[in-house]
Amino acid sequence: MSVMSRRFGLMAALAAGLAAAPALAQAPVKGGTLTIGVESDFEGFDPVRAGVYSNSTVTAASLFYETLMRLDDKGNLLPALALSMTPNEDGSVWAAKIRPGVKWHDGTPFTAQAVADHFNRLLDPASRFAGRAYLAIEKVEAPDELTAVFKMRGPNAALPKTLAQPTVTTLIIPVKQALEKGADYNRNPIGTGPFVFKEWRAADRLIAERNPNYWDKDKPYLDRVIVRPLPDSDARYASLVKGDVQVIWEDRAENIQKAKKDKNLITLNWVGSGALVIPLNTVREPLNDKRVRQAISMGLNRKANAAVLSQGLRPVYDDPYGPASGIECKDNGSLGYDPEKAKKLVADYGKPIKLVHTVTATPRGREGAQVFQADMKKIGIDVEIKPVDQTQLVKETLSRDFLVSGWRIIDLADVDPQMFANFHSKSPINFSGYNNAEVDRLLLIGRTSLDENKRKAAYCDLIKILNDDVVWLWTASNTDFAITRANVRGIPALRGGAVQVEAAWLAK
């Protein structure tokens, strides 16, 4: 057995043997309808047309799409559409053994060619899919019906875990059907997952029903799932208390604290990798001047603001890695909070500084922008708040049509995809326009090295540079919350903020 094969041996295990769930006092009950309240409407379900999946869209898309592998709550890999993923000697090629007998919702077989078609379409420059920056894949081939071969751009230790978490790139769609249906497919998806798409009423609800031909014969337990966009967090919480919905994604501290005291509700939380962030457009005046960016960093009282905004629910770290990443840097080069130094930098710049802060038109977005505005005023920087809906914020940010924005480095099992996509000079998702040759070099070490200690050292060296250059501001840990009615069971860790209900059930 090769070194690589020993190292990644856990990836070639059967589903039943990897992680047995603890015994429940009550066996799962079949039947019923579960309604989930999410923050926003859905971008669509063709990744190329949608461009990005919010956590609301991932929640919905996970009903009918699946990944090759899965992660349990401890981060261990579990088989899903693939039974195993095995590397060659240096990790530059990975072979996925596809689960036999899986079918798309229209009855056609799911094969290795479907895997190849999905990823190759995302990687094709003609698709103009910005999310390809998250993938270190060169191409995918299908030598037979049940083997998909991933040829990487170089050695890559992170691939199986990267493909295990549901995202806009990893949830596999049938390319043939998507191309045949065109724009209509974006609103009428077909997948292999536990639920079959039935209806999407824009800005109102998405309805999915149990897939009677699902490959995991015991699942799903629910008959129907409804996902409702409820942008107002207080209205979303009120719907939960009233019982109109049984699960909500939530980020408003007041509601989370109330829920913890309500015997009819259960609060779920997950502290992942990544962070809530404020990206700065480093190529537009006045943010193309490092003095201005450093003044912003030293003038923003991130930890005090987070204590108020999140009521202590989201600690602030000086890097975007987070506890779940396994990366802990002794020195991350943080500039710290120093408003007096910030004022001197503003004076040294010598011109009026006016910024526009684009945020989501939600209580969270407005409140965060208001504390930013107040802190900047104290150091002599004027900030205009620009609230927009989430779809517009994503569009403007990705097209670099912003000065200051709001964003999130989502929770992933490995930090490589997000760090490379956000900060490599050649990445189409590097919307801050940041260009630093040493950062590019360190990102390549993080992506290609099979030595975990070397990778961690590279990411720690990288964060020193990013903190000194002040490309983004890390404003809160990436902690996700969901609140459920007391009878809801079986929702796993909220990776990436997605509420997944393939194994959910309703206790009597």
Predicted local distance difference test score (pLDDT) of residue 362: 87
**Distance in angstroms (rounded) separating the CA atoms of residues 58 and 381:** 37
**Distance in angstroms (rounded) separating the CA atoms of residues 87 and 155:** 10
Predicted local distance difference test score (pLDDT) of residue 25: 60
Predicted local distance difference test score (pLDDT) of residue 10: 30
**Distance in angstroms (rounded) separating the CA atoms of residues 278 and 75:** 28
Predicted local distance difference test score (pLDDT) of residue 1: 35
Do the beta carbons of residue 339 and residue 378 sit within 8 Å? yes
**pTM for this model (two decimals):** 0.80
Q: Which two tokens stand for residue 342?
A: 């910030």
State the sign of the Cα–Cα–Cα–Cα dihedral 92, 93, 99, 101: positive
Maximum separation of any 2 CA atoms in the chain, in Å: 69
pLDDT less than 70: residues of the chain? 1-25
Predicted local distance difference test score (pLDDT) of residue 391: 84
Q: Which two tokens stand for residue 430?
A: 């590097």
**Distance in angstroms (rounded) separating the CA atoms of residues 67 and 307:** 36
Predicted local distance difference test score (pLDDT) of residue 478: 87
What stretches of 393-506 adopt beta strand conformation (E)? 407-409, 472-485, 488-489, 505-506
Phi-psi region of 496 (alpha: psi -120 to 50; beta: other; left: phi over 0): left
Q: Which two tokens stand for residue 213?
A: 């031909």
Do the beta carbons of residue 172 and residue 68 sit within 8 Å? yes
Contacts of 436 (CB under 8 A, 6+ apart): 423, 425, 465, 469
